[in-house]
Amino acid sequence: MNKGDLIIIPTDTVYGLAAKLYDEEALHRIFEIKGRDQSKQIPILCHQISDLDQIAMLNDYSKKLMEKFWPGPITFVLNTTEAFFHLTGEKTIAARIPNHSKALELIKKYGVLRVTSLNKSGEPPLSDITHIRQQFGRFVSDIYEQNLEQSDVSSTVVDLTHENVQILRQGTITEKAIKDALKTT
């Protein structure tokens, strides 16, 4: 990927529109293409938990949840490191490791990616490759098509920025499963 490039990748939930982590030009294009409010951050997809070392502050319970549920359809909102904040101005970041071999291969190849669902803001994510090519093909440098067993449900989103775990969006992983994981040693 060159500076400003966007790609479309498959994940274990929905297709995603992806940019390299620190590519401001590409991030700006995502907001324009999707018609997304620039106050809404773009989550990141990682290859492994250690990818977050320079990005987010992890504690024992966040690591415990990541080890239990990643890779998988759960996104954790985390406080960022001081260094990441100085680079991006972001105090928090939403992060996930997808359970999808092609997505993981691309993240390993390009590094941590900013990825958002493939849709116009406010519309459902696209899953039909013909519609994806028609609506987004001209905006991206590559489309990684994959036979997917995608979910109709986006990932569960869990806020770990405070002492109390808070579910921001319910997906396939339930609040009970999260609380049970925190109880086990």
Residue 53 lies in a domain: yes
Cα torsion for 104, 83, 156, 134, to the nearest 10°?
-60
Residue 75 lies in a domain: yes
Residue 1 lies in a domain: no
Residue 143 lies in a domain: yes
Provide the domain count of the chain. Answer: 1
Residue 115 lies in a domain: yes
The string of pLDDT tens digits covering residues 93-116 is: 999 999 999 999 999 999 999 999
Residue 81 lies in a domain: yes
The string of pLDDT tens digits covering residues 146-168 is: 765 656 667 899 999 998 889 99
pLDDT for the residue numbered 127: 84
Which domain range does residue 40 map to? 7-183
Residue 31 lies in a domain: yes
Laid out side by side, the sheet with 16-20 consists of 142-143, 7-9, 16-20, 113-117, 44-45, 92-96, 74-79, 156-159, 166-169
Query: What CATH code is carried by the domain that includes residue 107?
Result: 3.90.870.10
Give me the chain's average pLDDT, please: 91
